[in-house]
Amino acid sequence: MYKSHVSSNEEYRLALDAASRELEALGAQRAELDRRIGQLMQTMGNLMRLCNLTPTVPMGLTDGCRMVLRSAASPLTAVEVRAQLAAMGIDLSRYENDLAAIHTTLKRLDHAGEVRFIPQPWGRPAYQWMPGAIPGPRTIVDAQSETEALRPRRRRKKEKPRA
């Protein structure tokens, strides 16, 4: 009786390992599909403009930002995200300040752990898609201090004493 319990436990472990491997493989396929869908949406938006058609995509700003960052090969600034959204055909004209709306969306996605704030040495922050990341405690102050650490320090000129 003990032997059958052990063998069924081993079978469960094997099934768990197989399910974990399959889930990992499907996650990688999904990431690749998301990248390709984003690229095709941008291509279609550009081709529609060349055909004198108005590209429109029935997608909200948050989903659009997710799609852009998933398909990006490197971290993007909010300005670059805006350009990619426009290329995909997402209508940003309904926002009084589209860049502020994009910044707010990216900050929310960062807080949720879906994207990662990446300080850049030239001062413009960028964001990178983080598939499956578990968010850690992070604040804007943390990000600003990281950005400051990357900036080159300027030497101050010594003042000459007055005579």
Residue 66 is assigned to a structural domain of this protein: yes
Residue 18 is assigned to a structural domain of this protein: yes
Q: What token pair was written down for 71?
A: 């398909």
pLDDT of amino acid 138: 47
Residue 156 is assigned to a structural domain of this protein: no
Residue 160 is assigned to a structural domain of this protein: no
Print the domain residue range for 68.
8-150
Could you count the other beta carbons within 10 Å of the beta carbon of residue 115? 27
Instruction: Give CA–CA dist 27/14, Å, rounded.
Output: 20
Residue 141 is assigned to a structural domain of this protein: yes
One-letter amino acid at 109 equals L
pLDDT digits 0-9 by tens, 37-47: 878 887 887 88
Q: Residue 132 — very low, low, confident or very high, per pLDDT cuts 50/70/90?
A: low
Domain count, the chain: 1
Q: How many CA atoms lie within 13 A of 123 on its CB side?
A: 2
pTM: 0.61
Residue 162 is assigned to a structural domain of this protein: no
Residue 136 has pLDDT above 80, yes or no: no
One-letter amino acid at 81 equals V
Residue 121 is assigned to a structural domain of this protein: yes
Instruction: Give CA–CA dist 113/130, Å, rounded.
Output: 7
> Mean pLDDT of all residues in the chain?
78
